[in-house]
Amino acid sequence: MAAQKFIAGLAAIVAVGLYGCSSEENEPTKPPVDPSPAVEAGIGFSVDEVSLNGYIKNYISDTIYFESDDWTITSVSFGDEMNRKYPRWYPLTTYLTELSGASAFDENVSWLNMHYADRKLTLTDIDPFFDYEYPKYRYAYLEFRRGEVTDTLVCESESDMPVGGGLHSYPGTVVFPAKGGTTNVMTHDHYWVFLKLQIDNISHTFKEEDGTQDFTDYWTDPDEVFSYTFGWLTIERNKHGDPREITITLDPNTTGAEREFLIVFSGLAPGARGVCSGRQLAE
């Protein structure tokens, strides 16, 4: 009887050793899983969204890097703040393209320049908001295709208004007759200097990055009289004893075509700028 009990206990121990303890060798092998069909990856941007700032010169462009070059930009679509708020009444404007990553390109589409080489795409706002008084917003959708795969790169461009806001001139636009004449424009503040004078799309700037300057206006006593003449246009400040006043004088227009000009002035606060535009009628 004792021998029978001993044999039964030994059998139980053996059973526990065989089945009660688990090991990788004794676990049942799972059947292999069939691999999924190969799925083509996305285009492979370093980022899928870039934000440009149209009020700061160093931030009007950005560069995107690519893992491969076997893609094509099939279209570029443009929208703005109104389009985003009211897409039904303000639809996107789309330009169809066939720009391939296999070769370098440099293309201007609307306000956006796309420069590509060596798997690097640089997007630049070629019409930034430097001369605008109020914040602006717009964006572009770049649609990419590689085989059956599509992907979208979003490029936003906006102007964040700096502290101080914009400067105002009254009126903001003046129209001269062909015979010329003189008019006065008032600014709402007297702490400013002339920044740029643009005549027929040619800019004459206060100070360029290389240190040259076409005309001079320093941060000095605002009561100081300033006068600058370029060809058929003269701008003066404080001619009549008020530093807020800009006096504009135009010579007679005998060219047979309208003439345009733009005066940009800068305030004390970084980025605070004002604009006065004008044109002169033809004979």
Parse the chain into domains and list their residue ranges.
49-158, 169-280
Class of residue 141 by CB neighbours under 10 A (exposed 0-12, middle 13-18, buried 19+): middle
The vertex-14 CA angle with 8 and 15, nearest 5°, equals 90
**pLDDT higher at 151 or 36:** 151
Residue 35 — very low, low, confident or very high, per pLDDT cuts 50/70/90?
Answer: very low
Query: Highest mean pLDDT range out of 38-47, 156-165, 209-218?
Result: 38-47
Distance separating alpha carbons of residues 212 and 210, to the nearest angstrom: 6
Residue 244 — very low, low, confident or very high, per pLDDT cuts 50/70/90?
Answer: confident
Q: What is the fold of 169-280? A: Immunoglobulin-like (2.60.40)
- At 271 the pLDDT is 58
The two three-digit tokens of residue 97, written as one number: 């393209």
Q: What is the fold of 49-158? A: Immunoglobulin-like (2.60.40)
Please give the mean pLDDT across all residues of the chain: 77
- At 60 the pLDDT is 80
Class of residue 169 by CB neighbours under 10 A (exposed 0-12, middle 13-18, buried 19+): buried
| Model confidence pLDDT, tens digit, residues 120-176 | 999 999 888 765 555 678 999 999 999 889 999 999 988 754 444 567 788 888 999
| Model confidence pLDDT, tens digit, residues 184-198 | 998 877 777 787 888
Contact predicate 178/252, CB 8 Å: yes
**pLDDT higher at 27 or 44:** 44
Distance separating alpha carbons of residues 176 and 280, to the nearest angstrom: 5
Residue 218 — very low, low, confident or very high, per pLDDT cuts 50/70/90?
Answer: very low
- At 36 the pLDDT is 40
- At 179 the pLDDT is 94
Q: Is 151 helix (H, G, I), strand (E, B) or coil?
A: strand
Q: List beta partners, residue 230.
A: 233
Q: Is 7 helix (H, G, I), strand (E, B) or coil?
A: helix
Contact predicate 238/222, CB 8 Å: yes
Contact predicate 266/164, CB 8 Å: no
The two three-digit tokens of residue 117, written as one number: 């080489």
CATH topology identical between 49-158 and 169-280: yes
The two three-digit tokens of residue 186, written as one number: 């008032």
pTM of the model: 0.46
Q: Comparing 84-93, 146-155, 195-204, which segment has the lowest mean pLDDT?
A: 195-204
Tell me what the mean pLDDT of segment 97-106 comes to: 95
